[in-house]
Structure 1
């Protein structure tokens, strides 16, 4: 089953519709490797209501796990399998476009859209070696230091600046 079919058959986008669900990560970017999961981020201003919606619909799924760190500012996280795919769902109290997961997804998508395909191939090679997505982008682009922070810093660059960066590696 393709990942889009797993999302559809799970009813995820409908079940969590009140929480503004967005599919992010390696699958929609075309950077998945065996074992990649389906990542969904949501705006869960009420973490209890979010957790209840997840619990009600997915508690009987294989590998079901639901947790939240002690701080109320941390997201509720659910993991489970559906249609042969692992899902990881985040319910963050911030609007969807503010957490780092969304910001990383956006800059990675921009970079891939601005490139001629070389970046995708190079990042996929890094991913095939077991490197996580953000460190893979950082390695390919020569971003020193914390790869997660480095990618966030790229988000403020214009498309022209990003094109120059892409030509320089």
Structure 2
């Protein structure tokens, strides 16, 4: 259940974050076509509110990361509320959180890491449903042979490439 949510400006546009009663992050949203759409995608059942100190710290870290100001922070310290997710989704998101800024992995590599080689498409589907970008950095996961793969956030692959460029990620040719 959402205790609150806030919208905030970043180098890629206006993002949103929602949190629960324990200040764990329940959702993060990259820019959508409008503030209303961003709030709707957060699943926010509350009015916008001033974020508590820990959530304000998360917002500041996201702003820094997407602007390229602090590529040393991988956001792995952010507390996420993963209630309602499947064990598979949790495993995929935890593996993705281990990818450092400026690095990429493939869907197949994530599948192998979580002990399910051959499930690259399922990994892609799970990342397409990621409720926490860029805290769970699904933009750092690419298709095989250097292809970008998809990106379900607003702006699609263009946003994915912008985030990777900001992080100075080295990609193969696609």
TM-score calculated relative to the size of structure 1:
0.24
TM-score calculated relative to the size of structure 2:
0.23
